[in-house]
């Protein structure tokens, strides 16, 4: 019987054609997600017992799921964040886990910049006005001469720094306990403390994983330290920002705006209070959703999966 490979994301036949052809040529059976949304736990339970490898989207690989996955050898995240996979239990079960670190940095960085521009240039207000027959020409801001703060300094944040440099900012700071000092110097970035970024930066962008040290990293205390003119962009994980505290900070004027690609609950509720605020721009966890990135990550994931099943050491193995 052919090994079955589960695809957690949607539209794999359309956007992951090369990867699907690669897997099928090697004799694997591809099982695709046809729900137009992440698998629920019950849906995952139905298919996981026969799966040997999976390209993981936003579905959750809990202990309960892993206990049912008797044939599973490898999980590859379609992205970087691994908070939806129980890494320690996967290791206990002999399941290798990898992510696509570095594969989607350009796509996520570009959406980061788009959210900054969306907030700074009042894109939501302007679009709603003109579509409604109005002609609002609300004043905005430029990135030029602003002070930038990067929370995290991995591949995506480094790409963001390169994009921001084209706008000639006043300064670019980054905070990362493992920050590469040579790359920081090359990119004109100063590695500093978290509080320095909160207090000095006009634009703060988040690029860290959801781990115990970062969950709730932005709450009431942090918003009070930020400049009243500052905007916050979260392109990483929803749990890093306390949404209730963010809403209150925006309503009270403690900060000036926010751009969000991720939320504490996903999909988020349509009546999320943040949606009522004009100085908030939102997208649905779509940082990696470009044709080029989907193709690149699909191929990377397919190769990692086949490497593990065929006995080779995989790239980006995170739970050895």
> Any idea which residues carry the catalytic annotation?
237, 266, 285
Q: Which two tokens stand for residue 84?
A: 């939806």
Question: What is the per-residue DSSP string for the chain?
Answer: -PPEEEE-SS-HHHH-HHHHHHHHHTTPEEEE--SSSPPPHHHHHHHGGGEEEEEE-S--B-HHHHHH-TT--EEEESSS--TTB-HHHHHHTT-EEE--TTTSHHHHHHHHHHHHHHHHTTHHHHHHHHHTT---------STT-EEEEE--SHHHHHHHHHHHTT--SEEEEE-TT--HHHHHHHTEEE--HHHHHHH-SEEEE-----TTTTT-BSHHHHHHS-TT-EEEE-S-GGGB-HHHHHHHHHHTSS-EEEES--SSSSPPTT-GGGG-TTEEE-SS-TT-SHHHHHHHHHHHHHHHHHHHTTPPPTTB---
Cα–Cα distance measured from residue 308 to residue 315, given in angstroms and rounded to the nearest whole number: 10
CB atoms within 10 A of CB 73: 17
Angle at 106 between CA 103 and CA 111, to 5 degrees: 125
């Amino acid at each position: 019987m052919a090994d079955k490979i589960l695809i957690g994301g949607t539209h794999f036949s359309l956007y992951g054609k090369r990867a699907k052809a690669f897997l099928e040529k090697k004799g694997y059976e591809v099982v695709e997600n046809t729900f137009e949304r992440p698998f629920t736990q019950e849906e995952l339970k139905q298919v996981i017992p026969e799966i040997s490898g999976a390209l993981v989207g936003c579905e959750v690989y809990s202990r309960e799921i892993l206990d049912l996955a008797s044939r599973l050898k490898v999980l590859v995240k379609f992205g970087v964040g691994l908070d939806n996979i129980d890494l320690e239990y996967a290791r206990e079960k002999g399941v290798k886990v990898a992510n696509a670190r570095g594969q989607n940095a350009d796509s996520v960085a570009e959406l980061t910049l788009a959210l900054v521009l969306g907030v700074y240039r009042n894109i939501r207000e302007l679009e709603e006005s003109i579509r409604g027959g109005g002609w609002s020409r609300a004043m905005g801001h430029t990135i030029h001469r602003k002070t930038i703060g990067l929370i995290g300094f991995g591949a995506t944040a480094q790409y963001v720094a390169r994009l921001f440099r084209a706008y000639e900012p006043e300064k670019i700071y980054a905070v990362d306990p493992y920050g590469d000092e040579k790359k920081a110097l090359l990119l004109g970035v100063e590695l500093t403390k978290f509080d320095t970024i909160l207090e000095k930066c006009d634009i703060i962008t988040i690029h860290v994983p959801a781990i115990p040290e970062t969950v709730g990293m932005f709450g009431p205390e942090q918003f009070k330290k930020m400049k009243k003119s500052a905007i916050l962009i979260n392109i990483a994980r929803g749990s890093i920002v306390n949404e209730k505290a963010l809403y209150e900070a925006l309503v009270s004027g403690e900060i000036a705006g926010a751009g969000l690609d991720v939320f504490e609950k996903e999909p988020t509720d349509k009546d999320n209070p943040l949606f009522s605020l004009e100085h908030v721009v939102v997208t649905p966890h779509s940082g990696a959703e470009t044709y080029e990135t989907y193709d690149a990550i699909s191929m990377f994931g397919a190769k990692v999966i086949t490497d593990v099943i065929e006995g080779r050491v995989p790239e980006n193995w995170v739970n050895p």
